[in-house]
Chains A and B, each alone.
Chain A
Amino acid sequence: NAGVTQTPKFRVLKTGQSMTLLCAQDMNHEYMYWYRQDPGMGLRLIHYSVGEGTTAKGEVPDGYNVSRLKKQNFLLGLESAAPSQTSVYFCASSYSSGTVRNEQFFGPGTRLTVL
């Protein structure tokens, strides 16, 4: 079991470039999430998905898009990167029912720098 994996681990972009971050989980979780972590800010929810083909906005969705075409994958896209999107991005997943709902498993993170 690999758990939650993220690709790539590091990336440097120029302002205006686009990119896609990939999150994959092999735990058959229904729910998946994208967070960003900035110094002194903790983690903030960008978008999430409660199942294949569904997505919803979180606390800080502007400038990002997501897609969940397959249950095991959750993609985060930046169409036109800005320096304010320099951050560490974490993907997480969780089960959808029972008392373990909301217990999230996190990936190792992607460090993104936008110049």
Chain B
Amino acid sequence: AQSVTQPDIHITVSEGASLELRCNYSYGATPYLFWYVQSPGQGLQLLLKYFSGDTLVQGIKGFEAEFKRSQSSFNLRKPSVHWSDAAEYFCAVAARRSGGGADGLTFGKGTHLIIQP
């Protein structure tokens, strides 16, 4: 079974500074990888996804992530954060199913991002 680790429970970044949120996954093959963001009291919004091809993927709101197979990582980055980026960020993995079907996403426990003025 797949698993996801987000090593940082909380991260504090100054507004305008760069950001990197870490995500490591465990899966026997190349997985589908996702980053979601959750604002307080809200549902989850997809930031970006990796299925195949270029290992650097661009997402919404200026975010990007890089898939590194050798490190089993899919870290999320943003060059300059804004106060509105304060939220909970979740990395998730889905198993590839050659015969169809879906068994849902496996989520990390999340990283809470705090933006300092």
Cβ of B20 to closest chain A Cβ, rounded Å:
19
A82 proximal to B (CB < 8 A): no
Chain B residues touching A, range: 20 to 34
Task: Please report the total number of A residues contacting B with Cβ < 8 Å.
Answer: 30
A102 proximal to B (CB < 8 A): yes
B100 proximal to A (CB < 8 A): yes
Indicate with 1 or 0, residue by residue over A40-74, a CB within 8 angstroms of chain B CB atoms.
11111100101000001011000000000000000
Query: Known contacts A40-B109, A103-B49; is A94 also within 8 Å of B44 by CB?
Result: no
B107 proximal to A (CB < 8 A): yes
| Closest residue of A by beta carbon distance from B6 | A42
Please determine whether B102 and A48 come into contact, CB atoms closer than 8 angstroms.
yes
Cβ of B24 to closest chain A Cβ, rounded Å:
14
Please determine whether B100 and A108 come into contact, CB atoms closer than 8 angstroms.
no
A101 proximal to B (CB < 8 A): yes
Please determine whether A103 and B43 come into contact, CB atoms closer than 8 angstroms.
no
What chain A residues lie within 8 Å of B109 (beta carbons)?
40-42
What chain B residues lie within 8 Å of A90 (beta carbons)?
43-44
- Interfacial residues of chain A within 79-113, with CB under 8 A of chain B in the complex: 90, 92, 94, 96-97, 99, 101-109
> CA A19 – CA B106 in complex, angstroms?
26
> CA A108 – CA B51 in complex, angstroms?
26
What chain A residues lie within 8 Å of B43 (beta carbons)?
4, 90, 106-109
Of A40, A50, A59, A104, which is in contact with the most chain B CB atoms at under 10 Å from its CB?
A104
> CA A31 – CA B97 in complex, angstroms?
14
Interface, chain B (partner A; CB < 8 A): 4, 9, 32, 34, 36, 42-46, 49, 51-52, 90, 94, 100-110
Closest 5 CB pairs of A and B: A45-B104, A42-B107, A102-B94, A106-B44, A106-B43
**Contact sample, A vs B, 22 pairs, CB 8 Å cutoff:** A31-B102, A33-B104, A33-B105, A40-B9, A41-B109, A42-B110, A43-B44, A44-B107, A45-B105, A48-B103, A48-B104, A56-B103, A90-B43, A90-B44, A92-B44, A97-B100, A99-B51, A99-B52, A102-B105, A104-B105, A105-B46, A108-B43
